[in-house]
Amino acid sequence: MKSFLLAVWEVVEVVLVAVVTVFLIRTYIMQPFLVSGASMEPNFGSGNYLIIDEVTYRFREPERGEVVVFRYPDNPSTYYIKRIIGLPGEKVEIRKGSVYIFNSEHPDGFSLEEGYLPLDMKTPGAAKAELSPYEYFVLGDNRNYSYDSRSWGNLPKDNIIGIARLRLLPITEVQAFSY
């Protein structure tokens, strides 16, 4: 009977350590994210299974061009994935199919080069945004079918969960991302 109880205790101990480890990793280090919708095509498609790095932004600020997962400002229980376009303190303007950035280094603005988009992709609509020191402007890569900062405004820094680091599924598209 004593050996049986020891065996049960060992199983409980292993399960407990595994549960605590998974909880800590998912809460503080990384978590999975399933892409739903076409807003990030062609770079991320519906059904892509990603691993989100939650640690990097504790040591540095998000950078232009990075793909982030965040809580939607109007409903924090909903998660979105978009690309960072405008940084804190900048002004972003969308006109004639292009994105223009105005900041202290470029007070007259510059047209954003977006090598991650298809060559014929234009950014529809007209928008102007002024970002506070704690806000970002985000857009989906599929500019014609993305619900993003053009529709609902600037993204507060506190809503950002992390950066997309790894695509695990579909298996034929496994890829690590470096920006």
Is the per-residue pLDDT at 17 higher than 90?
Answer: no
Q: pLDDT per residue over 142-154, tens digit each?
A: 999 999 999 999 9
CA distances in angstroms from 140 to 39, 88, 106, listed in the order given: 5, 18, 24
* Residue found under tokens 């990384």: 30
Active site residues: 39, 82
Confidence class for position 120, pLDDT limits 50, 70, 90: confident
Domains and CATH numbers, the chain: 29-176 (2.10.109.10)
d(CA 117, CA 2): 65
Confidence class for position 95, pLDDT limits 50, 70, 90: very high
